[in-house]
Amino acid sequence: MRKSLLWSLILTIGASVWTLWSADRASEGLVAPVRRTLKATEPQVLFAHEAPQASAVALAWPAHWAAPEIASAVRNPFDPVAEPTPKPTRAPIVTVTGAPPPPPAIPAVAYRLVGKMMGADGRPVLYLQRDNQMVEARMGDTLSDGYTVESVGASSVTLIHTPSGTHATLDLPEVRD
């Protein structure tokens, strides 16, 4: 340990012992508390340890002060207070004039039925072409435009546009020999 830390520790312990010893000596009456005499114009201040019992003390107010009137509490200040609920208000009535908006536009069927064959599970597999892309679909599948394959016939396929409920029929191309 460094010498400076050792000396600091010794001095701290010494100061603590001296403080405790001098406190014991003060209680023996060697050190007396100093009291100051008040002038008649100065207000008298009593500390809690100097005051007699509260029932025996009558506070003297200066003559130009009104005596305080203290009323009993109306409620317990520590009880929680319920927030008042706001009264419900009616929504303003708005009148809309004009024609209703048109129904959403149904996208045109962008698919072309290229072919059909039976799958390994016995269900027909449809081959649809959209732009230059081939799409494989089965009955019940939903295509990217919102169309669902509703039924598969011998020479045509029926699609239903799910949001609007409109039907579209795609025919198989004729086979050329």
- Mean per-residue pLDDT pooled into runs of 10, the chain (177 residues): 88 90 59 59 59 51 74 84 85 80 77 86 88 88 87 86 85 71
143-to-8, 67, 109, 148, 151 alpha-carbon distances in Å = 86, 89, 11, 6, 14
Residue 102 lies in a domain: no
Residue 121 lies in a domain: yes
Residue 90 lies in a domain: no
Q: Tell me if 127 sits within 8 A of 114, measured CB to CB.
A: yes
Per-residue model confidence (pLDDT) at position 34: 59
Residue 158 lies in a domain: yes
Residue 30 lies in a domain: no
Domain of 161 in residue numbering reads as: 111-171
pTM for this model (two decimals):
0.41
Residue 121 sits in a domain of what CATH number? Answer: 2.30.30
Residue 144 lies in a domain: yes
Please report the DSSP string for 82-119 in residue order.
PPPPPPP-PPPP----SPPPPPPPPPP--EEEEEEEE-
Residue 123 lies in a domain: yes
> Quick one: which of 170, 158, 175, 151 has its CA closest to 112?
170
Beta-bridged to residue 161, according to DSSP, are: 147, 166
Per-residue model confidence (pLDDT) at position 60: 65
Domains in the chain, number? 1
Per-residue model confidence (pLDDT) at position 56: 44
Q: What is the pLDDT of residues 110-136, one digit of tens each?
A: 888 888 888 888 888 888 888 888 888
Residue 68 lies in a domain: no
List the Cα angle 137/138/144 in 5-degree steps. Answer: 40
